């Protein structure tokens, strides 16, 4: 398949690009800081702003599916104290809305979006310390995730929302992640590689259309 990854420069987006390419997919890695010189036979690096309709339209040409892995790389404590970041705090919701619009213009259907565990009904399952972190430290990001999920659910596309628990770096040889519906999570840690494999698999699994999945180790 030809898969566009939006937010591909680092973290789970970059990990998803790697997992997709290793599985034989043709990947377009779209990010503000993408490096065209690092393109290969399997991965095409494209620089562009997700808020730029023209850039998104060009990236959509010929694609079969889109994975959205937008996020903010700044330290969350500094973001909360300074109330600003290198990336707009509403990048997830606005960026995903822009992707949805571009997909409709291109006639595309398959959309996989990374959200986070702790949104919606899953908030009640968090331990007290995690609830405090969500409420006191990353409340603006949580609100943006909530808006992002609303955008996805109302998109009219063949969507899947993927909610990983707290992300950590880890060994690429880690066991497959546990994937469950709704608020089912077996732990509160999962590696970015484990998540990336779920994002990779989601593009080809029609039984996951219209579902919200929790991902844990």
pTM for this structure? 0.92
Q: What is the CA radius of gyration of the chain?
A: 16
Domain count, the chain: 1
The CATH number of the domain where 164 resides is what? 3.40.50.720
Give the DSSP per-residue string, 126-175: S-HHHHHIIIIISHHHHHHHHHHHHHHHTS-SEEEEEEE-EEE---TTPP
Percent of the chain beyond pLDDT 70?
90
- pLDDT tens digits, residue range 68-114? 999 877 666 666 665 666 677 899 999 999 999 999 999 999 999 99
Structural domain range at position 197: 2-216
Mean pLDDT of the chain: 90
Cα(210)–Cα(201) distance, integer angstroms: 15
54-63, 171-180, 203-212 — which is least confidently predicted? 171-180
Percent of the chain beyond pLDDT 90?
72
């Amino acid at each position: 398949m030809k898969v566009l990854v939006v937010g591909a420069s680092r973290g789970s987006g970059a990990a998803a690009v790697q997992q997709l390419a290793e599985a034989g997919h043709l990947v377009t890695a779209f990010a503000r800081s993408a490096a065209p010189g690092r393109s290969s036979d399997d991965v095409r690096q494209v620089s562009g702003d997700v808020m730029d309709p023209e850039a998104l339209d060009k990236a959509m040409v010929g694609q079969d599916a889109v994975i959205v892995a937008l996020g903010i790389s700044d330290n969350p404590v500094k973001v909360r104290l300074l109330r600003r970041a290198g990336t707009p705090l509403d990048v997830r919701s606005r960026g995903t809305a822009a992707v949805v619009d571009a997909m409709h213009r291109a006639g595309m259907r398959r959309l996989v979006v990374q959200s986070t565990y702790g949104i919606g009904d899953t908030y009640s399952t968090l331990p007290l310390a995690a609830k405090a972190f969500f409420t006191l430290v990353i409340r603006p990001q949580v609100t943006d995730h909530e808006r992002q999920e609303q955008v996805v659910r109302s998109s009219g596309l063949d969507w899947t929302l993927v909610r990983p628990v707290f992300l950590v770096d880890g060994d690429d040889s880690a066991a497959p992640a546990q994937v469950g519906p709704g608020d089912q999570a077996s732990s509160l840690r999962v590696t970015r590689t484990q998540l990336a494999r779920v994002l990779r698999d989601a593009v080809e699994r029609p039984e996951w259309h219209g579902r919200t999945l929790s991902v844990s180790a």
